[in-house]
Amino acid sequence: MSIASQPEARRERRRSRSSGAAARAAAAPEKAAGVNPAFLNLTNPFPPIKVFSDDQIEAIHETSMTILEEIGLRILLDEAREIFRKAGADVDESSQIVRFDRNLILEAVAKAPSSVTLYSRNPLRNVTLGGNRVAFASVGGPPNVSDLEHGRRPGTLAAFSDLLRMAQSFDVLHVITPMVEPIDIPPGLRHLEMTRSIAVLTDKIPFLYSRGREVVADSLEMMRISRGISREQFQAEPSCYTVINANSPLQLDIPMSKGIIDFAKTGQLMVLTPFTLAGAMAPVTIAGALAQQNAEALTGLALAQFVQPGAPVAYGGFTSNVDMKSGAPAFGTPEYVHAAFASGQLARRYKLPWRSSSTNASNAPDAQAAYESQMSLWGAIMGGCNVVMHGAGWLEGGLTASFEKFVIDVEMLQMFAMLFRPPPCDEGALGLEAIREVGPGGHYFGCAHTLERYENAFYAPLLSDWRNFETWQETGSVDATQRAHRIYKDTIANFTPPPLDPAIRDELDAFVAKRTEEGGADLES
Amino acid sequence: MSIASQPEARRERRRSRSSGAAARAAAAPEKAAGVNPAFLNLTNPFPPIKVFSDDQIEAIHETSMTILEEIGLRILLDEAREIFRKAGADVDESSQIVRFDRNLILEAVAKAPSSVTLYSRNPLRNVTLGGNRVAFASVGGPPNVSDLEHGRRPGTLAAFSDLLRMAQSFDVLHVITPMVEPIDIPPGLRHLEMTRSIAVLTDKIPFLYSRGREVVADSLEMMRISRGISREQFQAEPSCYTVINANSPLQLDIPMSKGIIDFAKTGQLMVLTPFTLAGAMAPVTIAGALAQQNAEALTGLALAQFVQPGAPVAYGGFTSNVDMKSGAPAFGTPEYVHAAFASGQLARRYKLPWRSSSTNASNAPDAQAAYESQMSLWGAIMGGCNVVMHGAGWLEGGLTASFEKFVIDVEMLQMFAMLFRPPPCDEGALGLEAIREVGPGGHYFGCAHTLERYENAFYAPLLSDWRNFETWQETGSVDATQRAHRIYKDTIANFTPPPLDPAIRDELDAFVAKRTEEGGADLES
């Protein structure tokens, strides 16, 4: 006998298929808004795992300080070198190399807030990064998109919009990313169409590219419009973010430097993430790659603080290794997990929010994609990460956004959200009276203790199929990836965009029309 | 440029494909024996994750003590009840219910060793369970076997033997299990053929079923013969183990009780694992299921200590939840991870080695199988588990042993073995001089720091394919499960059995022939 022989249980179950049964307890405003509170405002109750001793972290810190003092970074943007020079750094204009006294950098970084709240037009979607708070972001940056029906192809605005619909549909995703490059839109107009789609299709915290000053200015203005607030309020309430990748080793290019400056000036979040693949753009040793990552990250973070003390920033760690056979990047490896744990230790040393990633190097949304992503997720999350980038949809080391992988990832993220909720251990949960009632040799399906709790007792999966083999086989032996495809299609078919004031929509459209008429943005600006 | 443009690198890489590059450092006796030392004698450097506070663990303990004192367990074997009665327990013969003073149980359990070494005929294969040591075992108990070529079918001795070949071939597996039920062998002879296959095809620590006294006596004698040692030495050196499942809730059946007694008498390891699925055979709450698990486990462990104080035992935790829709068991869930972390806390409270499992409820060796297994592996391993049962090959909640899943699991276990080896952080690893040499904008492929280390720098995967999409596509778009199939076929084709003294082999064959002629074992014995 099963509890589900009761019709109410079946109905309840169907209704809540993708929302997590354990989440439906509280009758909160979130619920009224159709949002699952169990997947919002996540806090990680587990102390971070450390891979290095505190002394070893200090040795990595010391090495990065020596890098800053003796080797320096090449800073390609004149304006950035000038900011560093004025702050007191040693600038060699002929080589564009900038060297730093360690205190210069450390004092600047100390001005960064240890926690940042990002504001949405829907306050339920606000996200705080810092301490033991955790947010999940979708995949960012791939040129390609794929699904089982159409295969792998270059990104389009339509695919980008469908990926936005996916990201909006699952409450466990809190932060939007540039999920695929819409190459059907001319480069100078691309940010306009992307930002409009973001504003129309989602109310979650969006990402903006740093691809020149006009792109940033346009995108920020559209974000401000979408929130319907003044420039002053937008400046005071970070509402979006960018990711700046150092050009490892030890370089910061022109658009990235401009992005750091512009995001600091406008009070929006900047995540500084060196691209340190051990054995390629960083030493083949994890400790060495981390020392370099740390020098690069702190330099970019300090630049933001020189521009605007207290500017909201996050420390990004992306150190992984390459396959020494081919030079190809590897992800979700043991070395990746070590680097993630260590990056968390470093970020906490500087009291900064920490960004990590859910990554894999598989070419298909298969078992490899799942186990590599799980490895990196556990590395990030149990390392104490505050925001997990690439949390849904990443494939091929970031070259493809996969719709099926998106669904697989959402299932994994929802499981982590449930993992963050330690089970109750009060008298009712200990269940002595139920154990007494059932006694040796009985079963718990029908007892009062079960009937009172079964609805919210366990996580209800989105994707996992727990039916027995015979039933599964009779219904077509549909594997997880094929089921993910169906869930993706259903999600798109059932999508409803979040509310947006028609006047704001008109203002956005007018802005896009005007800037398009003007020829869009100069990417060299 | 890649390091592998050097032919030596390519050759080295091919040679070591399945062994893990980071493992080839030490020129140890293991290496001479063709065994990878990186995968033996694993120790977990990470402190265990706790899900409950110490006070909550005490509350679970207290509840289980009250269960023992007030509710009791039904013990079906007369001899076991008599042992309990003589030890001082309160026995009700009419109901077969035994109740225990908590001190009776706790004092008995305190006699169990906190660490157990299991001895192989090949000393390199000895396994120690306890403290921060970790051993991995293959899948145990399925009635079915499956692979991509032949599909799912009932187990046979041939399939059992192939699974033994797989388990023997990967050094990261330390403990053998009854990997599939060979139903083509009559029940009374089955243990003879299984144990002979184990002894001939592997030199790892074997599992023996507790299916009546003659089965146990035959199997133990064959194990003694395979080690070529005296009865005294066999008694003093645990060389195999059994798993006893309590018949939850709160029952211990006849063959299981006999197994506890016989393994204690012969000094072999007994793992007591209650089968507590929350919502079915245990309370729907994880805390309640754990309280019941704890009462059941401690009762069985105490029985072993009453029979033989100091008998080697381990605390097994298997608590998971069921799907409340269908009653089907669910595995690798958030609740499973919570229960795993908590079971580790309980086992450590009683200073006992802890057994957990790598589980999933998928019907195919797909992404679901991978992510559910990863969840349960992290729960077990980061919870401080000493032996992970079902570590390779488990599918369908344990109803099928899958050859492809076996390979996928070995890859995951090898990654954990590497994760247990924190990276160096000495001056060489910090790599300051390499960073200075390469400088801003350079790359590390050719530098001396890389050339000195690249061979052993990173884990070399068994299954993961890190080639770019185009190459992967040109070579047939072979996904992880299909690659796992090829690795399985290659492994079987290239298998060499471990050395076994021909005289011992003859003695085993003679024993099997004699017992077969006698009609095999009486399963009711």
Beta carbons of B454 and A286 less than 8 Å apart: no
- Mean pLDDT for the stretch of residues B65-88: 98
Together in a domain, B231 and B132: yes
B435 to chain A: closest CA residue: A283
A366, A429, A436 ranked by CB distance to B285: nearest: A429
**Residue B11 clears pLDDT 50, i.e. is over it:** no
Q: How confident is the model at residue A9 (pLDDT cuts 50, 70, 90)?
A: very low
Together in a domain, B174 and B205: yes
Q: How confident is the model at residue A287 (pLDDT cuts 50, 70, 90)?
A: very high
In a domain, B184, yes or no: yes
**Residue B10 clears pLDDT 90, i.e. is over it:** no
In a domain, B449, yes or no: no
In a domain, B49, yes or no: no
- Mean pLDDT for the stretch of residues A248-253: 97
Beta carbons of B424 and A285 less than 8 Å apart: yes
Count of A–B CB contacts within 8 Å?
424
B250 to chain A: closest CA residue: A440
**pTM for this one?**
0.94
Together in a domain, B122 and B100: no
In a domain, B285, yes or no: yes
Q: What is the largest CA-CA distance in chain A?
A: 83
Together in a domain, B381 and B356: yes
CB atoms within 10 A of CB B477: 12
In a domain, A321, yes or no: yes
Q: Any idea what DSSP says for residue B487?
A: H
What ipTM was predicted for this assembly? 0.94
| CA distances (Å), origin B388, targets B218, B257, B314, B491 | 27, 23, 12, 23
Is A291 exposed, middle or buried (CB count within 10 Å of its CB: 0-12, 13-18, 19+)?
Answer: buried
Q: What is the pLDDT of residue A32?
A: 62
Percent of chain A with pLDDT over 90: 92
Residues 432-451 of A with CB under 8 A from B: 432, 434-436, 438-445, 449-450
Tokens of B119: 């001895």
Tokens of B197: 């296959």
Together in a domain, B401 and B350: yes
Beta carbons of B425 and A372 less than 8 Å apart: no
User: Dihedrals φ, ψ of B322, to 5°?
Assistant: -105, 160
Percent of chain B with pLDDT over 90: 92
**Helix, strand, coil % over all residues of chain A, rounded to 5:** 50, 15, 40
- Mean pLDDT for the stretch of residues B135-161: 98
Together in a domain, B104 and B211: no
Cα R_g (chain B), whole angstroms = 24
Together in a domain, B102 and B140: no
Beta carbons of B440 and A412 less than 8 Å apart: no
A498 touches chain B (CB under 8 A): no
| CA distances (Å), origin B490, targets A22, A499, B10, B174, B269 | 45, 57, 20, 21, 34
Mean pLDDT of chain A: 94
Tokens of A518: 């003007």
- Mean pLDDT for the stretch of residues A107-127: 98
Percent of chain A with pLDDT over 70: 94
Is B232 exposed, middle or buried (CB count within 10 Å of its CB: 0-12, 13-18, 19+)?
Answer: exposed
**Residue A449 clears pLDDT 50, i.e. is over it:** yes
In a domain, B22, yes or no: no
Alpha-carbon distance of A51 to A49, in angstroms, equals: 7
Beta carbons of B335 and A396 less than 8 Å apart: no
Beta carbons of B422 and A372 less than 8 Å apart: no
The strand pair at B394-395 and B400-402 is best described as: antiparallel
B6 to chain A: closest CA residue: A325
- Mean pLDDT for the stretch of residues A44-62: 98
Q: What is the pLDDT of residue B324?
A: 87
User: Domain boundary at B351, B386, B419, which?
Assistant: B419
**Chain A residues in contact with B277 (beta carbon < 8 A):** none
Together in a domain, B330 and B217: yes
A76 touches chain B (CB under 8 A): no
B2 touches chain A (CB under 8 A): yes
CA geometry: angle at A507 spanning A506 and A511, to 5°? 115
**Chain A residues in contact with B412 (beta carbon < 8 A):** 371
Per-residue burial over B348-362, b if 16 or more Cβ lie within 10 Å, else e, is bebebbbbbbbbbbb
Check which CATH number belongs to the domain holding A213 and give it: 3.20.20.480
**Residue A24 clears pLDDT 90, i.e. is over it:** no
3-state secondary structure B51-67: CCCHHHHHHHHHHHHHH
CA distance B471 to chain A (A): 10
In a domain, B365, yes or no: yes
- Mean pLDDT for the stretch of residues A6-31: 45
pLDDT one-digit tens code per residue, B277-312: 999 999 999 999 999 999 999 999 999 999 999 999
Residue B250's nearest CA partner among B98, B446, B26 is B98
Residue B3 vs residue A145, higher pLDDT: A145
A457 touches chain B (CB under 8 A): yes
B21 to chain A: closest CA residue: A324
CB atoms within 10 A of CB B399: 18
A291 touches chain B (CB under 8 A): yes
In a domain, B459, yes or no: no
Alpha-carbon distance of B412 to B1, in angstroms, equals: 30
**Chain A residues in contact with B333 (beta carbon < 8 A):** 415, 458-459, 461
Together in a domain, B213 and B319: yes
pLDDT one-digit tens code per residue, B476-494: 999 999 999 999 999 999 9
| CA distances (Å), origin B270, targets B80, B102, B352, B385, B394 | 16, 22, 12, 16, 21
CA distance B496 to chain A (A): 28
**Chain A residues in contact with B477 (beta carbon < 8 A):** 363-364
Q: What is the pLDDT of residue B21?
A: 43
pLDDT one-digit tens code per residue, B506-516: 999 999 999 99
Alpha-carbon distance of A133 to B171, in angstroms, equals: 40
Residue B334 vs residue A324, higher pLDDT: B334
Together in a domain, B91 and B127: no
Beta carbons of A469 and B369 less than 8 Å apart: no
B59 touches chain A (CB under 8 A): yes
**Residue A20 clears pLDDT 70, i.e. is over it:** no
- Which domain range does residue B103 map to? 59-108
A327 touches chain B (CB under 8 A): yes
Q: What is the pLDDT of residue A4?
A: 38
Q: What is the pLDDT of residue A325?
A: 83
Q: How confident is the model at residue A28 (pLDDT cuts 50, 70, 90)?
A: low
**Residue B53 clears pLDDT 60, i.e. is over it:** yes
Together in a domain, B64 and B149: no
Q: What is the pLDDT of residue A26?
A: 45
User: Domain boundary at B108, B126, B145, which?
Assistant: B108
Into how many domains does chain A fold?
1
Residue A410's nearest CA partner among A61, A157, A136 is A136
**Residue B6 clears pLDDT 90, i.e. is over it:** no
* Residue B315 identity: Y
Residue B381's nearest CA partner among B18, B46, B89 is B46
Together in a domain, B303 and B219: yes
Beta carbons of B250 and A440 less than 8 Å apart: yes
**Residue A3 clears pLDDT 80, i.e. is over it:** no
